[in-house]
Amino acid sequence: LAEKITKNTPDKIWPAKNKDINFLILYARFRAGVGFDIMVKDYGEARCVNTGDQVGINGWYANGQAYAYLQGELGVNIKLFFIRKKIPIIKGGAAILMQAKGPNPFWMRGYAAGYYDLLGGLVKGSFRLKVTLGKECELDNVSPLGGIKMITDLTPKDGDADIDVFAAPQAAFAMRVNEPIVIPEDDGDKTYKVILEKFIITDETGNEIVGELEWGRMNDRATFISDDILPPDTKLKVSVEVSFQERVSGVFKTIMVDGQKAMEKEERNFTTGGAPDYIPLHNIQYAYPVVDQKHFYRDEYNSGYIQLQRGQDYLFDNSQWESRVKFTDETGEYKEADFNYNTSENKVSYSLPRVQRETGYVMSIISATKNSSGNTTTSTTQTQDFGDENTMEIRSNTAENVLKEGEIERLSYGFRTSQYNTFKDKIKDLKVTDDDWGKINSAVVFLSSKIEFNEGFDLSELVGNKYTENKPLVLVESDLNDRYFKEDINPILYRIFVQSSSYALSRDANEYGYIPNKALPIMSNYLTSLENNVDINWRSTRFPFRYNLTDIYYVDYLDVRDRVLNDYANGLLTPGSQWLSIISEDFDFMRYGDYTIKIRYILPGGISGTSADYTYKNPLTIRK
């Protein structure tokens, strides 16, 4: 739970924000705020060691921090030497930050600090004091950092049953792990670190589950992602341990208690449920063909594959089952393909069968029994010897464990093939009917294209989806081989103001590149048409990317030029400085002519496909 409340004067009575309260010649201004950030947790039957009472209300107990501050000024508003002045009589401020726990028992501890200034500085000073309210509950297994419990939560809960085998145990911490933490104490602020020593999952025999940790953005939450799904119908234990370090003379040293490393530990025991006999779509990291792909190019790559997020080895290592891939078209006809499952990589791969163009297919992984059903039996013979050559032979028939002959569908999803064999064929077949341009400002235009009716592009190609790891399959970039860049832009800008120079560009180079050869955004109308399946005819006659490099050139030019001008005006640059060259250079309008880009097809997982060039044309003849 978190809340913050701030009040300024005037507020409701004086609605003009940030103005003073005035009365006769007096004025006043005040600012105050309070806030808290707490976590409420069920401690069950836990009791305070020092009181013997159950903690909280039915085990629910809050732990966190709270703060408050007040700042203000009171003075007179008079005209002095014909100039109206505000002369403060008293001004000051105070703030307090406290660790809070409660209720039952309620306890707060923190430090208050502030400053004051009286009569224009005649009396002034500052203060810092420790504040403690209530009685602290002393729980078992608490952190040495002032009793703050660091492992605030751990899931699954202790004793939980039928836990999903795809579950990912998670630990939450009161503060950022492996990062410095400043905590105010009686003898001043001290800096600590919380170190994660262990985060493991084990079964009843002590075998560890193989996996890795994923950290939250704030580094206060860790999630254990197992390589394979958790073992089904199994009792497991998740264990988390943290230690603590204090910075002493600039070096972090491990905190010791009674000669041993100070540790905080949490454990949870839980039991998993059964494992599914299929691959859930949410367990696919990426796949090719892509799930629900609209334009699959049959000759782009010779293999299909599915990368699982968590391995499901048990589906394919059963000696009684054999698996294959089946591609079924809209008429019900199907083709089968060889199948392989790599247990170390958690990856399905197969040879792509020959499919028809412009056809819908369902890709399925089918497992079938190797043995037929029947009344097969085996027999064993037991002989008993009664002496005097008297024997008895007993034959016992034993039924074999056989599976009913049939099939199980492990995975199924649809896709549709393109009218083209490869992505390159598609781009080369595009025929431009109109070279368009649009005005951004008086110095900058962008380029776009109208084309003959075409099947277009789908969302997986332009923006990606969860089965491509949200990465687009189509990447575009300029070849920067046009006269405008080579003769007008590069010599005055990027060739001089390189990325390592004093006047490197301010914008994030990761978006378009330092030289913005990737400034080719998708038209918003095109995406809207795809997402809502509207304006299909309009979309089928538009090339989706807009040539926008000139706009970024101009932004970069102004960025560098203005910073150079400011530094020159402030005396930071001498007249002979090389950086001053940009001041005398104008930003030239885009030249008439061709602007070529390269379009590349990248399969899921980063596999390079085919590529082709596409050419825009600026039809404006202002500059040639």
Residue extents of the structural domains in the chain: 2-134, 151-271, 281-374+405-416, 423-618
DSSP code at position 534: -
∠ CA 454-460-466, rounded to 5°: 165
pTM exceeds 0.75, yes or no? no
Find where tokens 């000139």 sit: 550
Find where tokens 């003009």 sit: 16
Q: Specify whether the CB–CB gap between 10 and 21 falls below 8 A.
A: yes
Q: Specify whether the CB–CB gap between 584 and 557 falls below 8 A.
A: no
- Strand, helix or coil at 228? strand
- Distance separating alpha carbons of residues 530 and 541, to the nearest angstrom: 13
The answer to whether the Cα torsion of 430, 434, 437, 438 is positive or negative is negative
3-state helix, strand, coil in the chain (%, to 5): 10, 50, 40
Pairing of strands 444-451, 474-478: unpaired
Query: Which of 3.40.640.10, 2.60.40.1220, 3.90.550.10, 3.40.50.2300 would CATH assign to domain 281-374+405-416?
Result: 2.60.40.1220
Q: Residue 536 phi/psi, 5° resolution?
A: -65, -40
Amino acid at 408: I
Find where tokens 């923006």 sit: 463
Q: So what's the pLDDT on residue 16?
A: 43
Find where tokens 């001089």 sit: 496
Task: Read off the pLDDT of residues 171-187 as tens digits, 9 standing for 90 and up.
Answer: 998 888 999 887 766 56
- Strand, helix or coil at 16? coil
- Strand, helix or coil at 339? strand
HEC string of 359-372 equals CEEEEEEEEEECCC
Q: Residue 576 phi/psi, 5° resolution?
A: -90, 5
For residue 484, the cross-strand partners are: none
184-193: which pairs have CB atoms within 8 A and are 24 or more residues apart? 184/97, 184/110, 184/111, 185/146, 186/130, 190/246, 190/247, 191/246, 191/247, 192/145, 192/244, 192/245, 192/246, 192/247, 192/255, 193/244, 193/245, 193/246, 193/247, 193/252
Q: Which residues contact 87 (CB under 8 A, 6 or more apart)?
A: 75, 76, 77, 78, 80, 120
Task: Read off the pLDDT of residues 526-554 as tens digits, 9 standing for 90 and up.
Answer: 999 999 999 999 999 999 999 999 999 99
Comparing 151-271 with 281-374+405-416, is the CATH topology the same? yes
Q: So what's the pLDDT on residue 116?
A: 63
Q: So what's the pLDDT on residue 3?
A: 54
| Intervals of the chain under pLDDT 70 | 1-27, 30, 42-45, 74, 76-89, 92, 115-124, 127, 139-148, 184-188, 371-406
The answer to whether the Cα torsion of 465, 468, 469, 471 is positive or negative is negative
Q: So what's the pLDDT on residue 53?
A: 81
Q: Specify whether the CB–CB gap between 544 and 462 falls below 8 A.
A: yes
Cα-Cα-Cα-Cα torsion 449, 452, 453, 458, nearest 10 degrees, comes to -40
Helices (H) and strands (E) in the chain, counts: 7, 33
DSSP code at position 495: T
Q: Specify whether the CB–CB gap between 623 and 488 falls below 8 A.
A: no
Assigned fold of 151-271? Immunoglobulin-like (2.60.40)
- Strand, helix or coil at 582? helix
Q: So what's the pLDDT on residue 5?
A: 57
Q: So what's the pLDDT on residue 374?
A: 42
- Distance separating alpha carbons of residues 281 and 258, to the nearest angstrom: 52
Of 204, 209, 207, 215, the closest CA to residue 230 belongs to 209
Q: Hey, what are 475's tokens?
A: 């990447």
